[in-house]
Amino acid sequence: MKVKSKLLQVSFAVVLISGCAIAGTQNPAELNDLEIAHVAYTADNIDIRYAHLALAISNNPAVREFAETMVRDHTAVNQQALALLYKLKASPVDNFLSQQLTVQSEQLVNEMKQLSGAEFDARYANNELAYHKAVNGLVENSFIPNIENMQVKALFEKGLTIFKAHERHAETMTSSLK
Amino acid sequence: MFINRQQLIATILTLVGLVAILLIPNHGVAEGVGQTHIIEIRDLNFFPAEIKVNPGDTVRWVNKDFVPHTATANNRNWDSRLIGINNQWELVINGDTIEDYYCIYHPNMKGVISLNK
């Protein structure tokens, strides 16, 4: 199968998210606005789920503060996204990438549920850093340049600012656990 | 001495104007005590990031961002707690409150409050 460089870049980002090899990946850069909105909504909900797991398992203050921020911020961004879609009289559309992210997140949740203490904290923190790096790369390089609706694009640009701050916060959290 | 109608009206208008000037609050103008400083929170930053104040001034944080924030003194002497989207919080400045601050939820967001000299 011939692989274009752009597809390779995007596939690499997806591999980062999943942690496992993916063959025959479709191209996230070819998703339309409503599919992109669905991916973003799914990615937000996944991170909220990881955060709730951290709040259930971790006793580390830095991890708990980070997790609380993830719940708070991703919930707020999702509310803004749903409000915009309501205003545009549109609904997000399910797609291969949302489904891949969901399957992979289930696997990670099942793995993290078996952990506790410092082992859980390290796994959660490292995943948050990798997850935010990968998703931010997708949003910046594959989604924002291809979104057609200007209001949706503006929302994603604002969201990216917030999620890059999360990435920096995750770096700090990860360093504090070493 | 007689005052005619026009002089009386002019005098009254002048007095009303003087009273109005004294009563109108002095926002963001760099003179006098009891000034209100407005800090906008947007794009995960405090704007302006640095302000100079006098005791008796008020600092008002207005959250124009997508997500909730706080304004929390580095030494934890004061804390806005959660400032919701489109909400605000005020702090009256005294000797104990002149302190740099940050957002607890987003620790890289920092602000500086210092004393006018």
The residue extents of the domains of chain A are 5-176
Q: Does A92 touch chain B (CB under 8 A)?
A: no
pTM of the prediction?
0.79
Task: Check pLDDT > 90 for residue A4.
Answer: no
Task: Check pLDDT > 80 for residue B31.
Answer: no
- What pLDDT does B29 receive? 38
Compute the half-sphere exposure of residue B23: CA atoms within 13 Å on the CB side of its CA: 6
Interface test with B, best of A63, A64, A162, A171 (most B CBs within 10 A): A162
Interface of B with A in 93-112 (CB under 8 A): 104-109
- What pLDDT does B5 receive? 78
Question: Which among B43, B67, B107 is the nearest to A172, CB-wise?
Answer: B107
Q: What average pLDDT does range A99-119 have in this prediction?
A: 97
In our burial notation (b when 16+ CB lie closer than 10 A, e otherwise), range A77-89 reads bbebbeebbeeee
Confidence at A30, pLDDT banded by 50, 70, 90: confident
Confidence at A25, pLDDT banded by 50, 70, 90: low
Q: What average pLDDT does range B44-68 have in this prediction?
A: 96
Higher-confidence residue: A64 or B21? Answer: A64
Task: Check pLDDT > 70 for residue A112.
Answer: yes
Q: What average pLDDT does range A18-43 have in this prediction?
A: 76
Question: Which among B66, B104, B108 is the nearest to A76, CB-wise?
Answer: B66
Residue A176 to chain B, least CA–CA distance (Å): 13
Q: What average pLDDT does range B77-81 have in this prediction?
A: 96
Q: Which CATH code of 3.30.70.2190, 2.60.40.420, 1.20.120.530, 3.30.420.40 fits the domain covering B30-115? A: 2.60.40.420
The mean predicted confidence, pLDDT, of chain A is 88
3-state helix, strand, coil in chain B (%, to 5): 15, 35, 50
Q: Does B66 touch chain A (CB under 8 A)?
A: yes
Confidence at B14, pLDDT banded by 50, 70, 90: low
Residue A104 to chain B, least CA–CA distance (Å): 27
- What pLDDT does B98 receive? 84
- What pLDDT does A18 receive? 43
Q: Does A4 touch chain B (CB under 8 A)?
A: no
Higher-confidence residue: B7 or A148? Answer: A148
The residue extents of the domains of chain B are 30-115
Q: Taking a C-beta distance cutoff of 8 angstroms, is the pair B91, B59 a contact?
A: yes
Per-residue three-class SS string for chain A: CCCCHHHHHHHHHHHHHHCCCCCCCCCHHHCCHHHHHHHHHHHHHHHHHHHHHHHHHCCCHHHHHHHHHHHHHHHHHHHHHHHHHHHCCCCCCCCHHHHHHHHHHHHHHHHHCCCCHHHHHHHHHHHHHHHHHHHHHHHHHHHHHHCCCHHHHHHHHHHHHHHHHHHHHHHHHHHHCC
- What pLDDT does A13 receive? 46
**What is the chain A residue with the closest CA to B70?**
A69
Interface test with B, best of A64, A66, A73 (most B CBs within 10 A): A73
Question: pLDDT tens-digit profile of A39-92?
Answer: 999 999 999 999 999 999 999 999 999 999 999 999 999 999 999 999 999 999
Q: Taking a C-beta distance cutoff of 8 angstroms, is the pair A52, A69 a contact?
A: no
Distance of CA B42 to CAs B61, B69, B89, Å?
11, 10, 15
Integer Cα distance of A83 and A89 in angstroms: 10
Which ipTM was obtained for this model?
0.79
Compute the half-sphere exposure of residue A44: CA atoms within 13 Å on the CB side of its CA: 25
Q: How far apart are the first and last CA of chain B?
A: 52
- What pLDDT does A172 receive? 94
pLDDT over 90, % of chain B: 63
Confidence at B40, pLDDT banded by 50, 70, 90: very high
- Name the architecture of domain A5-176: Up-down Bundle (1.20)
- What pLDDT does B69 receive? 98
What is the spatial order of strands in the sheet that B36-42 belongs to? B45-47, B36-42, B58-63, B88-92
